[in-house]
Amino acid sequence: MLKHSEDNRGVTFRAVLIALFFLPVNVYLVVQWETVWGTQYPTTMAIFFNAIFSLLLVVMLNVPLRRLLPNLALRQKELLTIYIILIMAITVSGHDFSQTIFCTLITAHWFATPENDWSSIFWNYVPPKLTINDDKVIREFIEGESSFYRTEYVAAWMQPLILWSIYLTVLVFTMLCITVFIRKQWIDREKLSYPLVHLPFEMTVETEGGLFFGNQLFWIGALVAGGICLLNGLGYIFPFVPSLTLSYKLSAHFTSPPLNAITRMTMYWNPYAIGLAFLIPLDLLFSCWFLFIVWQIQRVVGAMMGINVSGYPLPDQQILGGYLGISIVAIWLARKPITSAVRHAWQIKQEADDRNEPMRYRTALMGMIGGTIFLVGFFAWAGMSASFAFSFFAVYFMIMFAFTRMRAELGPPLQGIHYSGPLQLMVAMVGSRRLTRQTLTVAAPLWTATKELRNNPMPFTLESFKLADRSGINTRHLWKMMVLAAFLGSVITFWAFLQMNYRWGGVGAWRGVSAYTVIERWITHPIEADIMFLVATGFGFIFVLINTIMRLRFLWWPIHPLGYPLAGYYHFDKLWLPFFLGWLIKLMILRHGGIRAYRKVFPFFLGLVLGAFSIGSVWGIIGLVSGKPTYAFKDW
């Protein structure tokens, strides 16, 4: 049992209790914002503004305790424990994680029509224990104006809810076990920067000289960004209030060939985006905005040359290859410590020390192997080919590993792959003709869960361990609370979905329809291996490898391989300018003021992030309470 003692080092009973109070509120808000209202989208970012806002509330409530009853005040370790539990639950509840799975559970049955013939295509292959096929239960779910709290509805949904929650929890646990093997290498040895942990860490510093309590620049930044968000929010509700335009679609002016090949190029200068960009290392900032221009040049050159390839230059497929390349490089560079840890786990050679790890290497290895077997077995039990399931998760974990490396080293505000995830790669490699109808049908939830990959737990697990390392939290207790948070996050997400659907009807159903529409096309119009998909993926893979080799051999090489997949991502068109401005400001400060000037202004940019996140969260909450749309400070 957790107690309030130094032995637990932050993972105290009261910290967990406070986190469990905020957890369902945050998960409910996420589902409501993202799926019902289609606004704010906190989980499509790499740092959750609602979690930061919740942490801010706890810190503010802790201020009088620290002054009046210091013995009862929460310590930094406890505050960060609360934050870590929240982000683990929120990421599981996210727009591209559990929400997407839930949207597929009634689709094949309810949306079958004589025209699409889904009854004959899917009904015999949809796993009955993981979905719902009761007409009455589904009708009320789709049409709304009802209540989930009826015995027959609860009974019908209980089994899928429990099974999918177990699946998601094991998936998170497996990711956590994987990060144990690279925690020491990336945190202790390479000392990667982890830019996204700066804000929550500095918010919880206990001394009066910390950023949150004593730095004027920090609060000036917060007032600037918060003031803009407040003004624009008022202008959204009251048209007579002036507001500030924070974006301009530059590509709207490219109407003639070959420049009209540039379809997404937005000048976006929101202060919080610039603040997040400022946290990123200088060389990575340059690589990202420069390579974004390179991506646009590819499009223009392709138009000039008359390249008649649909979707040229196939950025999504190149991005997938880039992430696979990053994963291979990261594993190769960490091969010695990983091998030592595995040998230690098998007790072959005691050459690694796991006393300060979240769990023993042997436990992590058994958890990783056992978790993978469960995940593959889960879908094999549902009817999928075991070899296909294993291949899918092998590619999936490689992508997650690359995302985790990118977050540790670069800390971008977002990351993802647009409609070119592991499932699309598997189909492109072998063709849908060689896959059974059963395998493809069971894969529908995986299509929705991996079509964007904007939020996933693995990077958050390692960022949590980084926060624990900086603040001294006991990770042996912490990881258990992280897994508990993942389970509770999935259960509460499903409950929120059910409650909202039976009230309003058909919430998020379009995502399930999209998945089964793609699966239907693969079944009724089977394809062979997609050579162009594979060529583009291979090009992205090779580009990353070449840039890595050049960077390792030549210190002057300016392009960082992490920049290529991020700069080509679908939503980066709104971030290239903040990255450029962050790079330019940072470069000027370092050149003319040195590291001392950089450290002096650093709090200002953290303040920009906190100010926008705080006021933006307030506007989102006001919208939910009032039932009316409000200003969304984040539009990607």
10-residue mean pLDDT series, the chain (636 residues) = 56 97 96 89 94 97 90 95 98 94 92 94 95 92 92 95 98 98 94 95 80 83 97 95 92 91 91 96 96 95 91 95 97 93 83 88 97 98 98 98 96 92 96 97 95 93 97 96 98 95 90 95 96 97 96 92 95 94 97 95 96 96 89 83
The whole-model pTM stands at 0.96
What is the count of structural domains for the chain? 1
The answer to whether 221 and 602 have CB atoms below 8 angstroms apart is no
Give 399-418 pLDDT, tens digit per residue: 999 999 999 999 999 999 98
Q: What is the extent of the structural domain holding 549?
A: 6-297+313-626
Does some domain include residue 186?
yes
1 falls within a domain: no
Q: Are 28 and 496 in contact (CB under 8 A)?
A: yes
> Between the CA of residue 123 and those of 108, 163, 512, 587, 606, what are the distances in Å?
7, 20, 15, 59, 52
In a domain, 633, yes or no: no
Helix (H) or strand (E) holding 268: strand 266-268
632 in a domain, yes or no?
A: no
Q: Does some domain include residue 525? A: yes
Backbone dihedral region of 383: left (phi > 0), alpha (psi from -120 to 50 degrees) or beta?
left
325 CB contacts (<8 Å, ≥6 apart)?
540, 541, 542, 543, 544, 545, 548, 561
Residue 353 has a pLDDT of 83
Q: Which residues pair with 247 in a beta bridge?
A: 268
The pLDDT assigned to 210 comes to 64
Residue 592 lies in a domain: yes
What per-residue confidence (pLDDT) applies to 6? Answer: 47
What are the residues whose beta carbons fall under 8 Å from the beta carbon of 12, sequence distance 6 or more? Answer: 2, 3, 4, 5, 78, 81
| Residue 84 within any structural domain of the chain | yes
Tens digits of per-residue pLDDT, 344-382? 888 877 777 888 999 999 999 999 999 999 999 999 999
Type and span of the H or E element at 60: helix 49-68
Instruction: State the SS3 of 146-214.
Output: CCCCCHHHHHHHHHHHHHHHHHHHHHHHHHHHHHHHHHHHHHHHCCCCCHHHHHHHHHCCCCCCCHHHH
What pLDDT score does 211 carry? 65
- Is cis: bond before 313, omega within 30 of 0? yes
Residue 373 lies in a domain: yes
